[in-house]
Amino acid sequence: MGRTTPPVGLDPETLTELVNAQVRLLRTLLATIADLDRAIGAALLGHTKAKLLAPMPYIGEINLGQIVAEVGPILDRASSAEHAIAECGAAPVTRASGKTRTVGFRWAANRHARTALHAFADNSRHGSPWAARLYADARRRGKRHPHAIRILARAWLRVMWACWHTNTAYNPTKHRAEQRLAAGT
């Protein structure tokens, strides 16, 4: 009782060797992943535009990498902030025909950019009073969580656009909406 028998054809010594080999392989793999994480982090912080967005609230290294990789090229080629907002899927689509007008979700967008931007927008509301207020206002107006996050993502993308095209790092004390909120207006 309490003793298990090894599978047919494997003696306990061979089984122990196989398990130990897999443990060594797993440790090597984890060490390689940690080395790659450090290398990616160093390369990311060496990117000139990443330094502009790194001070944004609750962006984190992974999300910053996603923003630079997915949203960055859109910011580079888009002719305006509104163009970038549409490409990232944060702007609604309006369809009108005769007397009928509908506003809906934008399906034709860069899915990876949308995911990165929305993840940042959702996290930012926990570290920015301005973002928290914008989100709460949208929820008070009856918007569901995903819609409120899209509203917040649009606002953040305008800020990112300004930082990206003026080569100015994000600074919450210079962000006019944050200043107005801090002043109580």
Full-model pTM: 0.73
Q: Where are the domains of the chain?
A: 1-46, 49-183
Per-residue pLDDT tens over the stretch 72-95: 999 999 999 998 988 888 877 677
| pLDDT confidence of residue 91 | 75
DSSP β-ladder status, 100-104 and 93-97? antiparallel
Confidence band for 120, pLDDT divided at 50, 70 and 90: very high
Q: Give the pLDDT score at 99.
A: 84
Distance CA 92, CA 88 (A): 11
High-pLDDT (> 90) share of the chain, % = 51
| Confidence band of 97 (pLDDT split at 50, 70, 90) | confident
Q: Give the orientation angle of helix 129-140 with respect to helix 176-183, to 10 degrees.
A: 80
